[in-house]
Amino acid sequence: MDKLHITGGKPLCGELRISGAKNAALPILAGALLSEAPVTIGNVPHLHDITTTMELLGRMGVQLVVDEKLNIEVDSSSIQNFYAPYELVKTMRASILVLGPLLSRFGRAEVSLPGGCAIGTRPVNLHLQGLAAMGADINVRNGYIHAVAKRLKGCRLVLDQVTVTGTENLMMAAALAEGKTVIENAAREPEVIDLANFLNQLGAQVRGAGTGILEIEGVESLDRPGRHYNILPDRIETGTYLVAAAMTGGRVKLKNARPALLDAVLVKLRAAGAEIRVGENWIELDMHGRRPCSVSIRTAPYPAFPTDMQAQFIAMNAIAEGVGIITETVFENRFMHVQEMQRMGADIKLESNTAIVKGIPWLTAAPVMATDLRASACLVLAGLVAEGKTVIERIYHIDRGYECIEEKLSQLGAEIRRIPH
Ligand code: UD1
């Protein structure tokens, strides 16, 4: 397994291009299953989770063609089976996103249950309850979800809890259902809006994306030909590089970004002492060589502070001036990075879903292990400011969500190397 070697202490300076959003690309690739005509998807990030999704679709018999600009053409007219095996689903929970489209268009699906995950139990009960309410016959046996339906029927769904992929799965199922579906307490994440825009471009009728109530008027088929859709920029990748610059006292300009989607994060970075300038599709952060001040955050569904940025802010608080209180309300076990940070000298106390982080002037390098995607980002950030050489193991987690991270950080002046195994 590859490792990352990082020698800390360099302020990050320069320009970067932000990649397409992983969490939009995954549902949109699954959503392409709904289309009778081939669709082309652009600005797709080059990530391990995308390769897994392509493998998943490919095994169903879907034709995928990647052109020289990395646009992906998806043609699901040749689909032969409706099966998502455990070996793929266990490496990427978002595979569950094929359930709604398969059931809605083909009337059946067999998808492995995702199972446990480092950051919490992450059940899919709300996905299943919603599909059952739309008339699907769902059985869970031998670790697989077996779902069949004649044609799903639109209905009113009130989600117990805000769920991003749950909202997306049900939106895709409703797109071809008979009649109107209303999803209340829907997730408002920008990636949900991106999926709705994609489906609408194919001919779906989804209204209200970005609000807590989605209304989807089912259509007979999605068959508008020759469609091209560009994935929106990744707000979490953007936030991660901004934190990297803030922690190292640097200055970065991020292009192909969407600052309007990062309000909650920018408020906290400004509170930490960063000077931030934004345009429509770029964002610049200048720390003027200063050490950041601690900030307190509480994660919650969009538009509040994203749980996917929590680990990065723990890293920043670890070397900031003062004490920051970080409360995680979305996932029950998302502090796996804290123990590794403590091995680098961080002063962090955990009390149930809260981390109390007392900043120290510098961390010390140590061999550490990545446990999940955002935890690995936290360790990379810590390595950038630690004294000595940090070695991060199990970096396959980071390759799931960050395109060419070592190349992008090197471009900004970091001393970082991938050591292939
Ligand atoms: C998505 C994102 C992930 C992000 C998370 C929260 C993708 C591919 N992944 O994950 O990066 O961290 O949103 O912003 O978009 N829940 C249930 N029952 C369900 C579904 C969810 O109880 O059926 C709970 C979960 O355990 C969790 C909470 O709801 O506590 C939110 O999870 P959810 O929004 O579903 O996360 P994902 O969609 O898996």
**Per-residue pLDDT tens digits for 27-43:** 999 999 999 999 999 99
What type of residue sits at position 116?
A: G
Q: Is 356 helix (H, G, I), strand (E, B) or coil?
A: strand
SS3 293: strand
Question: Mind listing the pLDDT tens digit for each residue in 91-104?
Answer: 899 999 999 999 99
Evaluated on CA atoms 33, 35, 40, 41, the torsion sign reads negative
Tokens of 41: 């998807």
Q: What per-residue string of b and e applies to 284-319 under the rule 16 or more CB within 10 Å gives b?
A: bbbbeeebbbbbbbebbbbeebbbbbbbbbbbbbbb
* 3-state per-residue secondary structure call for 214-282: EEEECCCCECCCCEEEECCECHHHHHHHHHHHHHCCCEEEEECCCHHHHHHHHHHHHHCCCEEEECCCE
Peptide bond before residue 123 is cis, with ω within 30 degrees of 0: no
What is the distance between the alpha carbons of residues 109 and 60, in angstroms, rounded to a whole number?
Answer: 11
Measuring from atom 32 of ligand 1, which residue has the nearest CA? 163
Residue 163 CA, ligand 1 centroid: distance in Å: 5
With H, G, I as helix, E, B as strand and everything else as coil, classify residue 309. helix
pLDDT of residue 79: 96
Residue nearest to atom 34 of ligand 1 (CA): 163
User: CA gyration radius for the chain?
Assistant: 21
Residue 139 in tokens: 């059985």
Distance CA 55, CA 49 (A): 10
Helices (H) and strands (E) in the chain, counts: 14, 26
Atom of ligand 1 nearest to the CA of 22: 8
Q: Are strands 251-255 and 13-17 parallel, antiparallel or unpaired?
A: parallel
SS3 assignment, position 411: helix
The H or E element spanning position 79 is none
Q: What is the DSSP letter of 204?
A: -
Q: Which of 165, 334, 353, 376 to mutate to test the pocket of ligand 1 (most atoms within 8 A of CB)?
A: 165
> Can you give the pTM of this predicted structure?
0.97
- Alpha carbon nearest to ligand 1 atom 15, residue: 23
140 Cα: distance to centroid of ligand 1 (angstroms):
20
pLDDT over 70 (residue 115) = no
Spacing, Cα 186 to ligand 1 middle (Å): 12
* Rounded Cα distance, 189 and 173, in Å: 18
3-class DSSP assignment, residue 128? helix
126 sits in which H/E element: helix 125-133
**Percent of the chain at pLDDT above 70?**
98
Residue minimizing CA distance to atom 4 of ligand 1: 308
Catalytic positions are 117
Q: Which residues have a Cβ under 8 Å from the Cβ of 88 and sit 6 or more positions away?
A: 52, 55, 56, 59, 95, 112
The residues, any chain, with a CB within 8 Å of residue 9's CB and separated by 6 or more, are 385, 387
Residue 49 CA, closest ligand 1 atom number:
8
Rounded to an integer, the average pLDDT of 249-269 is: 98
Asked if pLDDT for residue 63 goes beyond 60, the answer is yes
Residues enclosing ligand 1, CB less than 6 A? 23, 26, 93-94, 120, 122-127, 161, 163-166, 191, 307-308, 330-331
Tokens of 283: 């964002």
Report whether 417 contacts 383 (CB < 8 A): no
| The residue type at 177 | A
User: So what's the pLDDT on residue 1?
Assistant: 83
Give the C-alpha separation, 57 to 74, whole Å: 9
pLDDT band at 332 (very low <50, low <70, confident <90, very high): confident
Residue 320 confidence (pLDDT): 98
Instruction: With a cut of 70, say whether residue 311 has pLDDT above it.
Output: yes
CB atoms within 10 A of CB 36: 16
Task: Look at the block and give the residue holding tokens 């053409």.
Answer: 73
Q: How confident is the model at residue 374 (pLDDT cuts 50, 70, 90)?
A: confident
